[in-house]
Copies of this chain bind each other. A is one copy, B any other.
Amino acid sequence: MSKSALVILAQGAEEMETVITVDMLRRGGVTVTVAGLDGSDPVLCSRQITLVPDKSLADALTEKQQYDAVILPGGLEGSDRLSKSSVVGTLLKEHENTGKIVAAICAAPTAFVAHGVAKGKRVTSYPTTKDKITSDYSYVEGERVVVDDNIVTSRGPGTAYWFGLKLIEMLTGKEKADQVEKGMIITGY
């Protein structure tokens, strides 16, 4: 059975971080559910692109309580909405506690702080959000993607290719990640 990933889409999410991650994971053979935080209606993202979620977060969690990975795209407004959602807080903690992958990119690691998730871990985030990552965390600069046990964080839209590759590697193996990289022509152009 293929691995599963839940990507939570909030209004104001960074659309390329969302789409790059979902597209790449699907190329990597992962079954990805794009779940709308506030329902199944189309979601207006940070640069005015509208994405249609596969289903509402409520439905996604009714159908399946645990995913192999829960992934938070960035965007300032989107991350703020994820930070304020108690449903997101609960599901992040449940996935962290059972050793599932919990991942966030750009401004979204601030939602970890808001919900008390991944405490004590090495994390990174969008540079201007660094001061929101409290001393409960060990902040890392100079790496595109930071992995500490089951916690995966990345820096911004321009590091999303490598965030996607790392998640594929962790979910379906290095060989598959290398295939996706080759098919996308990140290198070898």
Residues of A at under 8 Å CB distance from B? 14-16, 19-20, 22-24, 26-27, 34, 42, 46-52, 126-127, 141-144, 155-159, 161, 181, 183-187, 189
In the complex, chain B residues whose CB is within 8 Å of the CB of A184: 156-158
In the complex, chain B residues whose CB is within 8 Å of the CB of A22: 47, 49
In the complex, chain B residues whose CB is within 8 Å of the CB of A144: 189
Q: A42-B42, A47-B27, A49-B34 are in contact. Are A158 and B142 (CB under 8 A)?
A: no
Contacting pair B16 A20 (CB below 8 A)? yes
Which DSSP category, helix, strand, loop or mixed, fits chain A's interface?
Answer: mixed
Contacting pair A155 B27 (CB below 8 A)? no
Contacting pair A23 B52 (CB below 8 A)? no
In the complex, chain B residues whose CB is within 8 Å of the CB of A127: 185
How distant is the Cα of A22 from the Cα of B161 in the complex, in angstroms?
17
Tell me the smallest distance from the CB of A86 to a CB of chain B, in Å.
28
9 intermolecular pairs with C-beta atoms under 8 Å apart? A15-B23, A19-B20, A23-B157, A50-B52, A144-B189, A155-B185, A156-B185, A158-B186, A161-B161
How distant is the Cα of A130 from the Cα of B72 in the complex, in angstroms?
37
Contacting pair A23 B49 (CB below 8 A)? yes
Contacting pair A157 B142 (CB below 8 A)? no
In the complex, chain B residues whose CB is within 8 Å of the CB of A143: 189
In the complex, chain B residues whose CB is within 8 Å of the CB of A16: 16, 19-20, 23-24
Which partner residue on chain B sits nearest A141 by CB separation? B189
How distant is the Cα of A185 from the Cα of B143 in the complex, in angstroms?
11
Which partner residue on chain B sits nearest A54 by CB separation? B48
Contacting pair B189 A142 (CB below 8 A)? yes
